[in-house]
A and B are shown apart, each in its own frame.
Chain A
Amino acid sequence: MSLLELQDVSVFYGDFQALFSISLTVEEGQTFAVIGANGAGKSTMLKTVAGVLRPRSGRVLFEGEPVDQVSAHKRVSMGISMVPEGRRVFPSLTVEENLHIGAYGGRKGDWNLESVYELFPLLEPLSKRQSASLSGGEQQALAIGRALMSNPHLVLLDEVSLGLAPVVIKRIYEAMVELAVRGTTILVVEQDVQHVLTVADRVACFLEGRISLLGRPGELSSDDISAAYFGM
């Protein structure tokens, strides 16, 4: 049984169709990367898995169970946790309060304040600071830490490197590897192909709402990828 399975999922914004019968499976423990240009439907797919968007047709299965009718907040307690695009930390809350909110769903597990501070040591001295005053990189670390606090089975990462300095991106990807080592399943969406291919077990390229390429990063040539990415 796959941890996550999308079966012929089509998603619309009003009359506009963003995803066309997408099917993909993410296995337990995998780091699955979805790449593609702006507007290819990557984030739409991720939001559909998180429950923010509902598919008009097709099914989403998590641990073998259909979750299409489960609302976003309930999926957190099932073990799906998302780091949204743009980080979306709660600006008026302190770093520590943000992390506590991450644990609101109340799943038991290894993640707590201590282990998050271990993964991102930069957060600990900032714990009493209002998160609005954090830098972009610090906010991204906080957003990831907050998502981990719910002890997720599946972590959804939406454009985590967007707008960050290279040194920060490097740290974020190191953290991602640490998560993978711990056995966390990761579904990551990125426009930046370079970094994400170094950590991914499997990659899907999205183009205009369809999957244009699917495979293992090692088996795909850069020509294949750029053809699938740009649709040439």
Chain B
Amino acid sequence: MNWVNITLQGILLGGLYALFAVGLALVFGVMRMVNLAHGDLGILAAFIALALVQSAHFGLLWASLLTIALMFGIGYVLQRGLLNFTLGTDDTRPIVVTFGLSIIIQNGLLLGFTADSRGLDAGAVETASIHISNQLAIGWYPLLVFIAAVAIITAVQLFLNRTKLGRAFRATSDDREAAELMGIDNRHIYALAMAVALVTVAIGGIALAIRTTFDPTTGPFNLLFAFEAVIMGGMGSIWGTLMGGIVLGVAQVLGAQVFGAGWGILCGHAVFLLVLALRPSGFFARTVTT
């Protein structure tokens, strides 16, 4: 049994969770909205990519890029046309509406794709690994997903810190009304934030679909993991999602190793509750803006 190896697998798995979590954190940070359909939207992206590969005979790379672009547009329209109207005085409205959206997406996918488990095939990269020693090997694919997660989180953070539009995101997050008095249209800012969030979760959904199998009901599981990563990282913190994802991934993989395969996810939840008890505001108790 090689603990280093197992811990490493957990860290890399954390990258996948971070891909699901970062969009959730961005949306929460910018507009204080909890999107319960976030996981389902990631799975929707996976199905769109699958359909493009199987029916339209795109290569996986082109199908993924097209899906990501499509999810950007879906995010913008969804926020501008629907979710913006749920924001305001009552915090429960966006929760109820996105919960409904989650059910609609799942059932729509069931109608269109049935309940069968599917997978996306990325070819040889899925099984290739880097041999470090006799007991230590890193899979290329989990490593690539992890690198993608770090790259995306870096890009989102740079966007928020360094660009004019990112500055407008942070100003809107600080004080929506004052931002509007500075000439910032918050409906547009919110729509862009959701569009970016769905780009990240589309990448997460496709990465998940290559790594394992998925079906129309896979979304809520990933939403739960993403929530745990976001909360452990600190609500709204972008880098915190990577930290939270890694802690969750390591806890799950180690738990499965120590107690048996069925216990991994439970161990993840237990560690989450422990972190919540010891550090209720998360590792990076900041908002998206800092």
Contact = CB atoms under 8 A, between A and B. Distances in A.
Interface of A: 50, 52, 71-74, 76-77, 81-82, 84, 88-93, 97-98, 100-102, 104-106, 146, 150
Contacts of B175: 88, 90-91
A52 to B, nearest CB: 7
B40 to A, nearest CB: 31
Interface string B178-190: 1111111110000
Name the residue in B164, B180, B183, B184 with the highest tally of chain A Cβ atoms < 10 Å from its Cβ. B183
Contacts of A52: 177, 180-181
Interface stretch (B43-51, B64-72, B166-174): B166-174
B287 interface: yes
A50 B183 contact: no
Given A74-B183, A88-B178, A101-B171, 8 more contacts: A52-B181, A76-B183, A92-B174, A97-B167, A97-B170, A102-B182, A104-B182, A105-B183
Contacts of A102: 182
Contact of A73 (B170, B180, B290): B180
Contacts of A98: 171
A104 B185 CA distance: 10
Nearest to A78: B183
A14 to B, nearest CB: 12
Interface in B147-206: 164, 167-168, 170-171, 173-175, 177-186
Contacts of B287: 92
B290 A150 contact: no
B185 A71 contact: yes
Name the residue in B180, B182, B186, B290 with the highest tally of chain A Cβ atoms < 10 Å from its Cβ. B182
B289 interface: yes
B184 to A, nearest CB: 6
A100 B183 contact: no
A73 B177 CA distance: 10
Contacts of B178: 84, 88-90
Contacts of B164: 100, 104
A94 B80 CA distance: 29
10 closest A-B pairs (Cβ-Cβ)?
A: A105-B183, A76-B183, A92-B289, A88-B178, A90-B174, A73-B185, A90-B171, A101-B171, A72-B180, A104-B183
B167 A72 contact: no
B289 A101 contact: no
A50 B179 contact: no
A91 B174 contact: yes
Contacts of B177: 52, 84, 88
Nearest to A150: B183
A101 B171 CA distance: 8
B167 A93 contact: yes
